[in-house]
Amino acid sequence: MTAVDADLAPSFEHAAFFYGDDAHYVDAVVAFVEEGVERGEPVLVAVPEVRLRLLRDRLSRHLPQVRLAAMDDMGANPAWIIPEWLDFVETHLRAGRTSRGVGEPIWASRTPEELVECQRHEELLNLALQDAPGFRLLCPYDTRALPDDVLTTARRSHPHHGAPALCTNPEFSSTIAPRLDTPLPAVPPWAQRASFAGTADIAPVRQLVIDAAALGGMAQARLGDLAVAVSEALANSVSHGGGRGQLDYWRADDRFVCEVRDRGVIDDPLAGRIRPHIEQPDGRGLWLIHQLCDLVQVRALPGGHQAVRLHVRY
């Protein structure tokens, strides 16, 4: 990062902003964005489509310096969000410009499982963007719709708070809770199970999953995503998880779910969230899994085991 201005800029500021009505939301977000516009900063606003509708009238005159994105798409899988912020921040840092963003990854209709991954995402942002000088990120939380425990967690995971001016947050807890021990919902009794050992088992086990998902009517393109994601998870177990493992797979409503368990440990909390460099020898597996799936849950299990549960919508 060679930007001259950026060298002088303060470190990354990650702020929670709690709002209780739409007018407050619009006024504070617009003021935060326009402060950036006046400083010549590019701004990316990624909030749910319903919130975007409130902001469009006030912000569209700042296009293209201000970019608007629907978080429902950009962050449908919460693991997709950090790479987007990194791309945005680094592109502008290379041009010597600091930048700012508004990111609202949590809304009331997130499923409980998505919510946990969103909270993990908020904590990982502090790590992923710690080397992004001058980047200010405002994360709005709707106090009308979100439960108290979600708001409490947000107070602890953001080093800053307030809007439009950001202040140091005394409630911030600097330890990153990796949430690798949050229990996963039980594997349902109708799940099917397969064991695997060695690379020779990858293809036949993958085929079991594909056959089951196809039987449930999954479209061809999604079957391809599922096949690659499962294959990568199995290959990870074979290469880094003790050479063998167990796979459970089942249908849950509109999703097909696979859980791979092995003796591996993913020690980099950002694994799969940093775009792999073209020449790097490995580390593409989890990236592919995250990118191809709608939700991925990585958990440390008792006894030195690990689970990677992936969800692909039909």
Partner 1 sequence: MLRAFFEAGLAADQRLANVLPPTGGHCVAELLDGLCDVQTLLDRNQLVLDAADAYVVDGTFDGGARVRSYREATQRALDDGFSGYRVFNDVGWLLPTVDVRSWRAHEVRADLVTATEPLVVLCGYGSQTVDGCSFDDTVTVHGQTWCDDTGHVRRVRLGGTADGAIAVTGELDAAHAEEVGEILDAVIDEADAVVDLAALDFVDGAGAEALFHVAHDRNATLRNAPQLLARIWTVLGFDEVHPLEASEGAVR
Give the residue with the Cβ less far from partner 1, 139 or 293: 293
Give the residue with the Cβ less far from partner 1, 22 or 268: 268
User: Which DSSP helix (H) or strand (E) runs through 236?
Assistant: helix 220-240
CA 249 to chain centre: 23
- Tell me which residues in 224-243 interact with partner 1 (CB under 8 A): 224-225, 227-228, 231-232, 235, 238-239
User: Do the beta carbons of residue 308 and residue 233 sit within 8 Å?
Assistant: yes
User: Do the beta carbons of residue 272 and residue 290 sit within 8 Å?
Assistant: yes
3-state secondary structure of 127: helix
- Tell me which residues in 32-91 interact with partner 1 (CB under 8 A): none
Q: Which of 4, 186, 215, 221 binds partner 1 (CB under 8 A)?
A: 221
- Tell me which residues in 146-205 interact with partner 1 (CB under 8 A): 199-200, 202-203
Residue corresponding to tokens 């591996």:
264
Give the residue with the Cβ less far from partner 1, 45 or 226: 226
Provide the minimum distance between the beta carbon of 207 and partner 1 in the complex, in angstroms, as a whole number. 9
Q: Which of 37, 70, 177, 288 binds partner 1 (CB under 8 A)?
A: 288
Residue corresponding to tokens 């919508």:
313
Give the residue with the Cβ less far from partner 1, 99 or 291: 291
Q: Which stretch binds partner 1 (CB under 8 A): 150-158, 253-261, 282-290, 302-310?
A: 282-290
CA 252 to chain centre: 21
Residues in CB range of 223: below 8 A, 6 or more apart = 210, 213, 214
Strands 244-252 and 255-262: antiparallel
**Which residues are near partner 1 by CB under 8 A?**
199-200, 202-203, 206, 221, 224-225, 227-228, 231-232, 235, 238-239, 275-276, 278, 284-285, 287-288, 291-292
